[in-house]
A and B are shown apart, each in its own frame.
Chain A
């Protein structure tokens, strides 16, 4: 009996050890003694932080934190928390399921310096406010059939990006540009691809996956399509959004729509 018990314990231990050998794909662990406030706040630190920000962050968040493809950082509103510690974690690990990558291999001291500079940007409180009417913008959204392709909460289509929290993710100017010229910056997950088969038939849709031999897309009806490249005579990746440009929309409608989209933030929900 004692032997059986020992064997059982040994077996369970082995199973546990084997399981422990399967590492998760996760961000590098945080330092155990991570402070609440940045230890690096001198003028020199902030200046180094500014340069790091401009090299690594400014392309998406704007060189002055005014936002763009990335969230506005000069208004003092941070979805993932605005303390030094919270910003450190966000910068170091990135935000899962978004375009925000972790700061791969950036030393902790440099992350703290970026935190310091981002806090300096946040204190400016200069975020642009929309001149439009969000309620009227909701009507524009409805009237123009945006929900055919876009989803807000549980309602709408899935051909275009989910807009549920879009106000927290994009700056006003980026939203405005995306309405009147959606091809100006196309998110990687929404690239248009067009294929032609041997019979000359064209199929267009959102590029989902591709390797040397096959390509996969979601067509405009939402169907998942798979093609072997040997079956195709052409593949094009036009730098064009699947979304039509609404450049002819009256400016007031554009501004109202921008105001509505900008109001779509996590905080509005319970």
Chain B
């Protein structure tokens, strides 16, 4: 009996210790997994987390958290800093119940304790080969489903990582990186599929959008964004082989409407970028927004913002889904070509466009959404300095934000002058650019000839409600919150907060280096935190 009692005591101690240990562990760092598809569908109902690139499937990049408000934002302080030791950090982290999963260039993943910024595990990606990249060794983030994180890599791989350990579960080649394919965007989970875009239009790729089975990594479908001869849209490429290197990359994460079962994804510029001689026609489906069935990869509709682009004006801006008056389902885009577009997201019907930045290239956008192009707005051999916006556009990939609290859409805009020139059409070369000219020449202009602004517009009309001017064209996205705040950052390294209703500046912090990323917010141990990468560090802010 005594022996049995001792055994029982040992059993109770062991089991009790295990239970208490689990409970204590859960209190200090909740597991938070799995991230089910149902949770992703209701991501906007989990303001304590940031479950996907755009915040939710509508890409609102908005949070209902309201601990930090326009009344107390002056008390915002640095809580922790995580050193990346990398250049050009463009990542948007995801946060799941106290754990932040963040990427760093070129294609690494770190799990951080969101309360302290301390690393829990690190996955360092080994590149399979040297890769041509136009614009830095960047990565913009991850997707999560169940216990798995999904990562695209600079050498055009798609990886599934165990979110608990960083262990690689499977790895698939999206495309051949030696042919200038690269992947930099955060994937989008839809049901049981991982939807990924591709980069490399500056290197002469033929673009596509892919979907992979989340469990096995097997490719479910591929939608080519540049049609082969005989396919719909191929008549917009002339009769030559231009389509083979026609660009149309898909390097920024799209949005998803579960009710319509449509994914909305933007496409990049045609190639060669600045010399369109070899590709007469509109060059579908480049510089377009595509509405795609996520189950089959079939395109329901497309809308092309810039037909036959020769100024590198990708349409890879984040499409934001909003519901208009009367419940009309809309998708809005602040395009690189300088116009704000409102489309019916059920049909793709063009509703309106308004310029939000200085533009010289088109007289107007007609009733069908097609630009009436002005003469003399093409790159020239001697260089054309009369074109606005510049090569980096009026808008770009940086995340916009829609606040249901103010019914305003916020985005960063670039007012910039550049010099576009044209050279002979290049031959495709593995490992080399495929430009046919250039859109640089920024050094020719004085810095004060370019500037930036955070714009607040009425999303249905594009009417500007207010603007907040900054010194230089920005590369930062926007976060809005129910605390009546809008956050963004400047190329000077200033992270700032504005009153969401009026645009009045309320707070700023000098981070000391250029910002190439978007802020997010979440809860850590019950307190609201805001993070943004500034230079090569990730900084977390919270109230005193």
Contacts and interface: CB of A to CB of B under 8 A. Distances in A.
A212 B437 contact: no
B492 A51 contact: no
Contact of A211 (B424, B433, B441, B494): B494
B510 interface: yes
Contact of A48 (B424, B429, B440, B492): B424
Given A23-B87, A48-B423, A107-B426, A237 B448 contact: yes
A213 B469 CA distance: 12
Q: By DSSP majority rule, is chain A's interface helix, strand, loop, or mixed?
A: loop
B381 A105 contact: no
A195 B112 CA distance: 45
Contact of B432 (A107, A191, A213): A107
Contact of A104 (B382, B423, B429, B440): B440
Q: By DSSP majority rule, is chain B's interface helix, strand, loop, or mixed?
A: loop
Contacts, number: 74
B437 A99 contact: no
B382 A210 contact: no
Interface of A: 21-23, 25, 48, 51-52, 54-56, 59, 99, 101, 104-110, 188, 191, 210-213, 237, 239
A32 to B, nearest CB: 11
Given A55-B423, A213-B508, 15 more contacts: A21-B85, A51-B424, A54-B381, A55-B381, A55-B437, A55-B438, A56-B441, A105-B202, A107-B432, A107-B433, A108-B432, A188-B446, A188-B447, A211-B490, A212-B471
B86 interface: yes
B422 interface: yes
B76 interface: no
B158 to A, nearest CB: 24
Given A52-B423, A104-B440, A188-B447, A211 B432 contact: no
B265 interface: no
Interface of B: 85-87, 134, 202, 381-383, 421-424, 426, 429, 432-433, 435, 437-438, 440-441, 443-444, 446-448, 470-471, 490, 492-494, 496, 508, 510
Which of A104, A106, A188, A213 has most chain B Cβ within 10 Å? A213
A87 B127 CA distance: 31
A25 B447 CA distance: 23
A56 B490 CA distance: 28
Contacts of A109: 429, 432
Given A52-B423, A55-B381, A55-B383, A107 B471 contact: no
Contacts of A54: 381-383, 421
A111 to B, nearest CB: 10
B442 to A, nearest CB: 10
18 contacts: A22-B85, A23-B85, A48-B424, A51-B424, A52-B423, A54-B381, A55-B438, A56-B441, A107-B429, A107-B432, A107-B435, A110-B423, A188-B443, A188-B446, A210-B471, A212-B470, A212-B471, A212-B494
Given A108-B432, A212-B470, A51 B381 contact: yes
